[in-house]
Amino acid sequence: MQERGAVVVAAVSSIYRTAPWGYLDQEDFANACALATTTLQPGELLAEVKAVETELGRKDGVRWGPRLIDIDVLFYGDQVFDSPELVLPHKDLFNRAFVLVPLAEIAPKLRLGGRSVGEAAKAAAELGVKPLGCGLSAAGSHIGDFDAFTEPGR
């Protein structure tokens, strides 16, 4: 997305191995988070994310099922955004260890909606989120989720 001029990436987490969520009959996922800035509005950013997913080979399938790539926009600075296509901050962000742990690695002091990402990640850390090097090669997993967290402006 940075190469396309859509964002400027400030930080990228390590890659984490996580058990499937939602649809469980699939391989583990590889998850990471990035922190970036953008001049795009939330809806424009979502359209850009969907275009990148398509270019990378994502196909429609079972909800939460196997997929080559899944890029989520989970917050946009401290702004609240609510449309049928996109809710920011993401309504399930604090319920997903596979988001909290990598996000806390790159933004441990981040607070969203008055809640601490770092504290929530500590509480969720024992839920099976492990650095990718723990017994899984990238070839043995889905590319999985890449959660993008943005701040307005550049």
Catalytic machinery residues: 58, 67, 70, 72
Q: Which of 122, 60, 115 is nearest to 92 (CA)?
A: 115
Tokens of 91: 């309504």
Cα–Cα dist 118/101, whole Å: 8
> Which residue in the block uniquely carries the two structure tokens 């795009």?
40
* Contact predicate 87/77, CB 8 Å: no
Q: Which of 67, 82, 71, 105 is nearest to 2 (CA)?
A: 71
Cα–Cα dist 135/91, whole Å: 31
